Amino acid sequence: MASLLVLVVSTGPAAAHAKLESITPADGSTMAAPPTEVVLTFNEPVGSTGAQVVVRTPSGTDVSTGELKVVDNTVTQPVGAMIEAGKYRVDARITSADGHPITVSASFTVTHAGHPPVQPTSGSTPAEGGTNVVAIVGAFLVMLVVVALAIVIVRRRPTAS
């Protein structure tokens, strides 16, 4: 009887497989700006052998791009341009550390298609809310003050007799 109990208790952890703890974007979520990646987080480390994450547009086009990254219990799949508004589907097949395959299906909705806002790398653009205009007006005002001071200084010079 004791050996049966030991056998049952010892098989418990060995039978456990990795389980999905979270997915970003969250299943069923709605967002204005499309994500640049899909991240799956499991309760224990997973393997990279045979790992696959596919992200499909509402019309069925695969937008998964770049290399799938598996680090410990996190799987990250970069995605390309999401030019369609609507419901995106995520289908993943990951291998648990014990070799057991895990399948994941989820979806999220994008309300405004296209690329997420990108910060300019250098210089300024008109889309920054008119900061170019403010800089130009400020420089003009500084120049006017310098010219006015120069005129005052020239007029106050004593004349040579």
Looking at the 3D structure of the chain, how many domains does it have?
1
d(CA 121, CA 141): 29
In 3-state terms, what secondary structure has residue 19?
coil
Q: Where are the beta strands (DSSP E) in 8-85?
A: 20-24, 29-31, 37-42, 46-56, 69-71, 74-78
- pTM greater than 0.85 (yes/no): no
Q: How many residues does the chain have?
A: 161
Domain enclosing residue 47, as ranges: 18-110
Q: Is residue 73 part of a domain?
A: yes
pLDDT in tens, 101-155: 999 999 999 998 775 444 445 544 444 455 577 778 777 788 888 888 878 887 8
Q: Is residue 138 part of a domain?
A: no
Q: What is the DSSP string of 133-157?
A: HHHHHHHHHHHHHHHHHHHHHHHTS
Q: Is residue 3 part of a domain?
A: no
pLDDT in tens, 30-64: 999 899 999 999 999 998 888 999 999 999 999 99
Q: Is residue 10 part of a domain?
A: no
More confident residue, 120 or 71: 71
With 0-12 CB in 10 A as exposed, 13-18 as middle and 19+ as buried, what is 25? buried
CATH of the domain at 100: 2.60.40.1220
Q: Is residue 74 part of a domain?
A: yes
Q: Is residue 129 part of a domain?
A: no
The amino acid occupying position 85 is A
Q: Is residue 157 part of a domain?
A: no
Q: Is residue 83 part of a domain?
A: yes
- State the residue for tokens 């120049």: 143
